[in-house]
Amino acid sequence: MQEIKNNLFLKALRGEEVSRPPVWMMRQAGRYLPDYIKLREKYDFFTRVETPELACEITLQPVDQVGVDAAIIFSDILVIPQAMGMTVLLEEGRGPVLPEVIKNKADIDALITGETEDRLDYVMKALALTKRELNGRVPLIGFAGAPWTLLCYMVEGKGSKTFDKAKQFCFTQPELAHQLLQKITDVTIKYLKAQVRAGADTVQVFDSWSGMLSPSDFNIFAAPYLTQIADAVSEDAPVILFPKGSWYALAQLSKGSASGLGLDWTVTPALAREMTGNNITLQGNFDPSKLLAPIPQIKKEVKEMIDAFGVNRYIANLGHGILPNVPVDHARAFVDAVKEYV
Amino acid sequence: MQEIKNNLFLKALRGEEVSRPPVWMMRQAGRYLPDYIKLREKYDFFTRVETPELACEITLQPVDQVGVDAAIIFSDILVIPQAMGMTVLLEEGRGPVLPEVIKNKADIDALITGETEDRLDYVMKALALTKRELNGRVPLIGFAGAPWTLLCYMVEGKGSKTFDKAKQFCFTQPELAHQLLQKITDVTIKYLKAQVRAGADTVQVFDSWSGMLSPSDFNIFAAPYLTQIADAVSEDAPVILFPKGSWYALAQLSKGSASGLGLDWTVTPALAREMTGNNITLQGNFDPSKLLAPIPQIKKEVKEMIDAFGVNRYIANLGHGILPNVPVDHARAFVDAVKEYV
């Protein structure tokens, strides 16, 4: 196995001492980068996702151009519903649409749970190619959507401010909801293990909509499946869980088998450390909108953030994906501020 | 002054002992009620808001038909930007649009801060009429949007998942942002005091987007203005603050002059009580989507919620506005479950 030259990220995840925190940004391979926009003008979304050479090129852009300490494979959480047989439409600049949603037991029974690795072979090829191209410069992160978040899209059929169709499904037909969540979980575990075999050094599970759930419903519809995934995949590689908005679950999740927990920007570093008892590596949590502030202010607030989290068991990141309208030099200022931290 | 027959709500706000908690629902005068939909088909949104007889009729519907313990005047938080001279468009079923947004100092200087009570005379007339029609059955709640939330609309020009234009304005031009927030605050204080004179027994301040802010930015752009309003208006009537998503601010806000704090459904009753030291009346926090669950489950979970909050210093409510697709008998089951609490 190839040695990774800049292994700050993996050291931080393992809880080893580091000279400074590693830094990357969620959605770092994305629309704020002019070179990404050029590719977007030539190839539609799923062509970019499904063509290993394009996914690799896009994944490397922020490593080369912004100087992040980790690459995250360019892909989408909705490749899992696709691999399970659902149609996913994605128009540029609009959210995803799944025209045939899950409504009943027959729909769940019809979902495909086999051949996950074959069906998502393009992701494995993209990971393998990217790993080779990275040539050990920085670690490579794989990812998947969490079962609750995928259920949201598979039942609601599109993005939503409240996901009340998805929640209604869960509240009125909990047995079916659990069947669906378990199927997604089984497929996701196979998918993430395959990603590690293909070259991912770690994986992150995005529960983008877990904060829609009350703490008790989180414990019913989200936590058990996050835990299954973390338990199974952490046998192979460190796992980072990002339950966005579910600050209330930090204490509980810190006691499980995940190596890292992602935080959104509504949690203070002090409270996050207190809730997690310094048992786990924390990742986050700069307000993505704050990258629109003047550069000196970005640098000042990044320093304050690291002061508050501490250098160890910490991965600097945003609290959610980078916004499309962030100037590249502001993104670079964020990364530089972490690298300059003393 | 007329005696209010069912004064559970005001007793709970004052921290007096009650036999059971009072109950009302945010957006209780709204689209889930068939009689509201009939009026919506005949009159456009601002006609309903600006015609005292219609606003009164809509305000009374949930009192008569669902049996809530308080009425809240039918109106909109965007009447303040309107009264300050901005154009607000509202198409049915879509969010509001403010075609000419605040961009610079000239735009802020041009805002009207005088004649608030005259400009919003239709709200005062609606309150006075509703007060008379209620005939002391239940208390009447007035309301306004919080300065931060109104700034979001006035700068962004429409609803947004991230309000990053509004945040960019605050982060890059903080002095202008504070000038704007102060103007909104001054107008809002006059507006709420006038509402109390017109008949409101209490007022609620909705900071619907405060949870978009990090805890430190909340302290800069939201908290000082909420505090000014609570300090000034609580001289005349009890004030309820609802900083949605800003669970991190509960401890701090509980120490101010507000009588009540609204909670969304991501906060457990136990944590909310712990953070606020049982110093203040708490209001909330049933997941609005949970009203789509079967009635027996709604009743069971309402009972658990009251068990957890306790009977005193508590006002049962949803954690956000009622959804348009909730069956009326489910809304009634929510209210009945509180009334049946023993």
Give the H/E segment covering residue A88: none
* CB contact residues (below 8 A), chain B span 285-314, against chain A: 287-290, 292-294, 297
The tens digit of pLDDT for each residue in A5-54 reads 999 999 999 999 999 999 999 999 989 999 999 999 999 999 999 999 99
Q: Within the 10-69 window of chain B, which residues sit less than 8 Å (CB to CB) from chain A?
A: none
Q: Tens digits of per-residue pLDDT, A57-114?
A: 999 999 999 999 999 999 999 999 999 999 999 877 788 999 999 999 999 999 999 9
Helix B147-156 and helix B174-198, axial crossing angle in degrees, nearest 10: 120
Distance CA B114, CA B112 (A): 6
Kindly identify which residue of chain B lies nearest to residue A170, measuring between CA atoms.
B293
Of B216, B265, B292, the CB nearest to A214: B265
The nearest alpha carbon in chain B to A304 belongs to: B216
Choose, from B153, B191, B314, B341, the residue flagged as catalytic: B153
Nearest CB to A293 within list B171, B215, B297: B171
Verify cis geometry, omega within 30 degrees of 0, for the bond prior to A285: yes
C-alpha–C-alpha distance, residues B259 and B315, integer Å = 11
Size of interface A-B (CB pairs under 8 A): 91
Domains of chain B in start order, with CATH, are: 8-339 (3.20.20.210)
Q: Which residue of B has its CA nearest to A174?
A: B293
**Residue A342: pLDDT band with limits 50, 70, 90:** confident
Nearest by CB to B292, which of A164, A287, A294?
A: A164
SS3 B31: coil
CB atoms within 10 A of CB A87: 10
Task: List CB contacts (< 8 A) between B325 and chain A.
Answer: 164
Residue A102: name the closest of A49, A165, A44, A54 by CA.
A165
Question: Which position among B27, B137, B197, B332 bears the catalytic label?
Answer: B27
pLDDT-derived band at B321 (thresholds 50, 70, 90) equals: very high
Model ipTM?
0.95
Contact A234, A258 (CB under 8 A): yes
Chain-centre distance of CA A235, in angstroms? 19
Q: In the prediction, which pLDDT does B91 show?
A: 79
- The pLDDT of residue A1 is 59
* Residue A233: closest CA among A260, A269, A277, A203: A203
B153 is catalytic: yes
pLDDT digit string, tens, across residues A246-264: 999 999 999 999 999 999 9
Residue B94: predicted pLDDT: 81
The percentage of residues in chain A with a pLDDT greater than 90, rounded to a whole number, is 96
CB contact under 8 A, A214 and B172: no
B167 has a chain A CB within 8 A of its CB: yes
Q: Which residue in the list B40, B137, B197, B332 is annotated as catalytic?
A: B40
pLDDT band at B209 (very low <50, low <70, confident <90, very high): very high
CA distance A5 to chain B (A): 35
d(CA A149, CA A96): 13
List the single residue in B288, B293, B325 with the smallest CB-CB distance to A172. B293
Terminal CA-CA length for chain B:
32
Structure tokens belonging to residue B154: 């006035």
What are B281's strand-pairing partners? B260
Residue B1 pLDDT class (50, 70, 90 cuts): low
| Averaged pLDDT of chain B | 97
Which residues in chain B touch residue A266, judged by CB atoms under 8 angstroms apart? 211, 213-215, 245-248
